[in-house]
Structure 1
């Protein structure tokens, strides 16, 4: 514990417009705040648009002694933030893995198991041409999901196509148009978030395709947006608020000088609704 400091930092590097659309970040924040506030701490949130701005924020917080620890979200491959925070002497907690053997405290999410379940569901419905619309490729959990998706498709003898998106509505629509223009097109698409999946519903309608009779859609991270779509979206449902609470508990352990630990949360589970169905016969 650092005397006189009672705040935990979280920097979100994403467009501010996406924060208002996507439920994940707000649910994560709520869970972290619920945990740390019980111990008299608050969450210091900052939203930035670039890695340079994020690193500058950490330097400012360290120089001004504003935070006891920092929560790192959306770890990238060879992420420079871990070394930067270590050099500044600021403890870090990583959300989401991507593995249990990180040098800092972390909360592990088994994204590979979740990708396998999504593929298994669609293949069980008879789909042989699957596609995945990802988040940014440099994110570690994106690569974990993609590798697991491709490997599972290969193991089950089905086609698995991957197209990169950025979690935004426009990228979801563009990726869907790209996939539907292919011959043969996929009969089922898995999206890395609900915002892109909802955008795909509009694109399918524009193309004259019925969801789910002609095209099955499945979203990652269940939300009110997914539940109230037309039709409601099947989703990999994950208790993001509970994840946030676990992250907050991990932070409290770190600031109390507890040992570096890897915590594990239950993986997402499939919730089937009206956007997935047996593959079309032709």
Structure 2
């Protein structure tokens, strides 16, 4: 077959010895063909580098074979966060088993993210989307049902009526495991260096820290944009004060490592002078010296579970019930200890 000619469903049907309808069922992941026939059709399509026509797909309402993932993060910080690397790898591993692609875009604001969903839906570019970092009064969670775009939200709590299904982790319980541990060590001045304040997980962690005032703990929150530069600047300010905190908790491992470097730059040792911890873990967090106490979560598994959940949601006529992800665990390492007397 000439490579100059675009391979069509009719061509694939002729090569596979089946009807064009059977080819359509197989390529769009629909029932109606046997597993053996489906695989033969998919192999022929791959061999001849078949690609669907986006115009035809929009006209007939066929599946795009793609899921969308819009990420509202600074581009220069995304690659450094192990959370996103693992989450995307997990999602891709599950999607590839079903021959589904992922279209990921970076957006600079929630308005741009909303516009992306509208564009994807109008052009039938994606079959569904994975949503992260939910907020209180989140416009995305009302828009997606209005658009009829299947979605799964990775969040910190159960979904509300009329919102997309969620796969969620109890960030309040997770925050308690870390902040309670520091309190039990004797820390009475704890600072949480967070990401943006509007995220639900930031609010939950802030509320847990505030609740420790009943135990005599003074909690403080410093918001940043997740970047190492912002974390470093916050740490320099904290450690330059006469009444510096005895423990500092960061939202992710890259921020914590940046904070550790600032402490060392200022001649302070962890945990002798200040304890450090992170709400995200990574291989690097366990290799630096001192190694950093972290909340360890199966982010790869979370990505795979979210992708599988989304594929089920795409097939389902109604919004599916929420699912609870595996609870992250506290991993205690060298960077935390009993605070020194001053």
Normalising by structure 2, we get a TM-score of 0.78
Q: Does the 8 Å CA contact 1:82/1:92 hold for their aligned counterparts? A: no
Aligned equivalent of 1:97: 156
Which of 300, 306, 323 is 1:241 aligned to?
300
Q: For residues 7-42 of structure 1, what are the alpha-carbon distances to aligned partners after superposition, in whole Å with 9 as ceiling and x for unaligned?
A: 111001111111111111111111112222222212
Q: How many residues align?
A: 281
Instruction: Specify the alignment match of 1:158 in structure 2.
Output: 217
**Following the alignment from structure 2 to structure 1, what is the Cα–Cα distance between the partners of residues 183 and 142?**
42
Structure 1's consecutive aligned runs of 4 or more residues displaced over 6 angstroms after TM superposition are none
Q: What secondary structure sits across from 1:21 in the alignment?
A: coil
Report the secondary structure of 2:133's partner residue: coil
CA distance in 2, matches of 1:97, 1:159: 25
Does the alignment pair 1:148 with 2:208? Answer: yes
Matched residues in 2 for 1:44 and 1:205: separation?
41
Q: What secondary structure is seen at the aligned counterpart in 1 of 2:79?
A: helix
Corresponding position: 1:76 with 2:135: yes
Gaps of 5+ in 1: none
User: In structure 1, what is the Cα distance between the partners aligned to 2:315 and 2:337?
Assistant: 50
1:10 matches 2:72: no
Residue 128 (structure 1) aligned with residue 128 (structure 2): no
Q: Alignment partner for residue 252 of structure 1, among 304, 311, 315?
A: 311
Contact 2:91 2:303 in 1 (8 A): yes
Higher relative contact order (CA 8 A, sep 6+): 1
C-alpha distance in 1, partners of 2:192/2:229?
Answer: 16
1:29 aligns with 2:88: yes
Conserved in 2, the CA contact under 8 Å of 1:35 and 1:248? yes
Give the CA RMSD over aligned residues. 1.6
- The answer (yes or no) to whether the contact 2:167–2:306 under 8 Å persists in 1 is yes
Which stretch of structure 1 is more off in the superposition, 118-127 or 2-11?
Answer: 2-11
Report the alpha carbon displacement of residue 268 of structure 1 after superposing the two structures with TM. 1.6
Larger gyration radius, structure 1 or structure 2: 2
Query: C-alpha separation between the residues in 1 aligned to 2:242 and 2:223?
Result: 19
User: CA, structure 1 residues 173+138, in 2 after alignment: closer, same or farther (shift >3 Å)?
Assistant: same
Deviation at 1:162, TM superposition (A): 1.2
- 1:139 Cα offset (Å): 0.9
* Rounded Cα–Cα distance in structure 1 between residues aligned with 2:63 and 2:299: 30
Structure 2 partner of 1:110:
170
1:86 aligns to what? 145
d(CA) in 1 for partners of 2:267 and 2:222? 22
TM-score by structure 1 length?
0.94
